[in-house]
């Protein structure tokens, strides 16, 4: 899935991938998933044939779309990819474009925009609290008291199950909520306070580190093509 504009949230049993504009969310075959769009979203969907799917990660991932990858995605999902009134790409041409797309994904690193889903019931309970109230500044010790677990136990579970510290986990969760609020039109100051930051500067720094662009640029980004559609566009693999 490619977000040409807006923000997508792609949910699987592994967790949630947060997909701001100009990012690609990859979901391998066999993963039950659903997605939700936030704000004025232009979503493009492309399926890869097995021969190419094996060349990309075997787990859900998010990539920044290069200039070339973006143009390939827009071409594959534009009128030539789905409008019967417009001459379409030949089977071989589509196959070459898909190969270029896969090559471009190989040239970029996965982005830290995937929120893993905890398995432990105590972590799940804390996750629900933080999802519902991202501005909650309770310490891990305070949250642990509500689920009957020590800080040491919860820290170990976070490291073993999610591969991150509590600070890293809560920051990523807050940035996810921030992306949703920005997509819905809220300004940077409101979003910072709603997601638990004491001041906008701290929020901007954390957001930029994870997303790779500032909240202001993310909020004001507009679609890059005049014919962008508000509805999902899907192109199937050749064959």
Predicted confidence at residue 239, as pLDDT, reads 46
Give the tokens for residue 83.
């409008």
Give the tokens for residue 194.
């709603």
Residue in 26, 53, 49 with CA at minimum distance from that of residue 238: 49
238 has a pLDDT exceeding 80: no
Q: For CA atoms 53, 59, 60, 66, give the dihedral sign.
A: negative
Topology annotation, domain 118-211? Arc Repressor Mutant, subunit A (1.10.10)
**CATH 1.10.10.60 placement within the chain:** 118-211
Q: What is the mean pLDDT of residues 130-154?
A: 95
Predicted confidence at residue 184, as pLDDT, reads 86
Mean pLDDT of the chain: 86
Phi, psi (rounded to 5 degrees) for 238: -65, 145
113 has a pLDDT exceeding 90: no
Q: How does strand 114-116 pair with strand 233-235?
A: unpaired
Predicted confidence at residue 85, as pLDDT, reads 58
pLDDT digits (tens, 9 = 90+) for 159-206: 999 999 999 999 999 999 999 899 888 999 999 999 999 999 999 999
Q: How does strand 34-46 pair with strand 233-235?
A: parallel
pLDDT digits (tens, 9 = 90+) for 207-216: 999 988 899 8
């Amino acid at each position: 899935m490619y977000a040409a504009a807006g923000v997508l949230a792609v949910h699987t049993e592994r967790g949630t991938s947060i997909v701001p504009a100009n990012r690609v969310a990859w979901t391998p075959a066999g993963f039950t998933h659903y997605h939700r769009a936030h704000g004025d979203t232009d979503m493009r969907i492309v399926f890869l044939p097995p021969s190419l799917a094996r060349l990309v990660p075997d787990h859900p991932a998010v990539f920044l779309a290069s200039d070339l990858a973006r143009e390939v995605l827009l071409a594959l999902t534009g009128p030539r990819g789905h409008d019967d009134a417009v001459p379409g790409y030949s089977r071989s041409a589509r196959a070459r474009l898909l190969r270029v797309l896969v090559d471009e994904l190989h040239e970029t690193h996965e982005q830290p925009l995937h929120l893993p889903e905890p398995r432990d019931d105590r972590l799940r309970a804390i996750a629900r609290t933080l999802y519902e109230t991202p501005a909650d500044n309770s310490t891990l010790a305070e949250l642990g008291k509500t689920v009957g677990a020590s800080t040491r136990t919860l820290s170990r579970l976070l490291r073993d199950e999610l591969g991150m510290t509590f600070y890293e986990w809560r920051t990523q969760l807050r940035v996810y909520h921030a992306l949703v609020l920005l997509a819905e039109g809220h300004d940077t100051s409101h979003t910072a306070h709603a997601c638990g930051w004491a001041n906008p500067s701290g929020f901007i720094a954390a957001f930029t580190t994870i997303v790779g662009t500032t909240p202001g640029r993310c909020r004001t980004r507009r679609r890059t093509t005049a014919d962008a559609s508000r509805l999902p566009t899907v192109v199937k693999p050749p064959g």
